[in-house]
């Protein structure tokens, strides 16, 4: 199932909600989602409490609750949800939805992102809540992050996980080839590296949900980033179709 979340209120630069339409338009041209159910997560933006330390926090709470219910319903219906979201703040809802559908299972998240997204209103310089979903999911902030090869302890921990969710933020791509995202950085992934990584992640049967987020066409140049992200989406869909997990 393809689940769309059209919101960009958690980002500092608006326009990432348009990334969903860019991907859907290309999918229609290529028939990528043919015979795959597509559902929109209906989010609204009521007036509510906001703060310079947590901008649009009440709206984002509502969005996350809606996404949580939709991801949960998708999983309980036997689907593998691919979530196409605008900004990353709604990922807290994606994670909560996986857990809600499987409350007794131990859950892990593979967070492919240029940023840890572990800020809270107490630590964020911008107050933009797309930098806070992991902290919201964990109930902690600013954990030490370490990039390394998996050691024996990590491998043993992975073996104990029952479910895994995969999240791919467009800003993990190297800024030399990816401009169409709000916070591009140097030394990111090249497209072939990202494709190889997603291939490994999605081949694992423990992975039950996958999200792509933060594609902003308004910042893109010659649709370069759109084309890269769509190719990655094609890879994900092809793998899941081949393994008979997407319908």
Domain CATH number, residue 16: 3.40.800.10
Q: Is residue 10 part of a domain?
A: yes
pLDDT in single tens digits along all 247 residues of the chain? 999 999 999 999 999 999 999 999 999 999 999 889 999 998 888 788 888 999 999 999 999 999 999 999 999 999 999 999 999 999 999 999 999 999 999 899 999 998 888 888 888 889 999 999 988 888 875 554 444 455 576 566 557 656 789 999 999 999 999 999 998 889 999 999 999 999 999 999 999 999 999 999 999 999 999 999 999 999 999 999 999 998 7
Element spanning 207, H or E: strand 207-213
Angstrom CA distances, 224 to 83, 137, 162, 186, 228, stand at: 21, 32, 37, 17, 6
Is the distance from CB of 214 to CB of 16 less than 8 angstroms? yes
Dihedral in degrees, nearest 10, Cα atoms 20, 26, 30, 34? 20
Is the distance from CB of 79 to CB of 247 less than 8 angstroms? yes
Measured distance CA(241)–CA(245) in Å, rounded: 6
Estimate the crossing angle of helix 91-101 against helix 57-76, to 10 degrees.
Answer: 40
Whose CA is closest to 184, among 85, 116, 115, 119? 115
Q: Is residue 223 part of a domain?
A: yes
Q: Which domain holds residue 98?
A: 2-242
Q: What is the model's pTM?
A: 0.91
| Number of domains the chain contains | 1
Q: Is residue 49 part of a domain?
A: yes
Q: Is residue 247 part of a domain?
A: no
- List for the chain the helix, strand, coil content (%; round to 5): 40, 15, 45
């Amino acid at each position: 199932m393809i689940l769309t979340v059209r919101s960009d209120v958690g980002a500092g630069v608006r326009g990432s909600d348009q990334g969903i339409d860019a991907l859907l338009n290309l999918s229609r041209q290529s028939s990528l989602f043919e015979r795959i159910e597509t559902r929109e997560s209906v989010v609204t933006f009521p007036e509510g409490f906001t703060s310079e330390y947590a901008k649009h926090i009440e709206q984002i709470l509502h969005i996350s609750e809606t996404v949580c219910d939709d991801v949960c319903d998708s999983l309980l219906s036997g689907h593998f949800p691919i979530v196409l979201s605008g900004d990353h703040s709604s990922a807290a809802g994606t994670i909560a939805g996986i857990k809600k559908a499987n409350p007794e299972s131990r859950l892990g998240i593979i967070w492919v992102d240029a940023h840890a997204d572990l800020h809270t209103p107490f630590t964020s310089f911008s107050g933009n809540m797309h930098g806070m979903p992991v902290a919201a999911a964990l109930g902690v902030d600013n954990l030490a992050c370490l990039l390394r090869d998996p050691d024996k302890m990590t491998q043993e921990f992975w073996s104990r996980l029952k479910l895994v969710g995969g999240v791919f933020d467009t800003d993990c791509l190297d800024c030399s080839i990816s401009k169409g995202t709000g916070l591009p950085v140097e030394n990111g992934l090249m497209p072939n590296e990202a494709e190889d990584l997603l291939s490994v992640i999605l081949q694992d049967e423990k992975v039950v949900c996958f999200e792509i987020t933060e594609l902003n066409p308004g910042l893109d140049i010659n649709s370069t980033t759109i084309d890269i992200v769509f190719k990655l989406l094609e890879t994900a869909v092809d793998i899941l179709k081949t393994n008979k997990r997407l319908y």
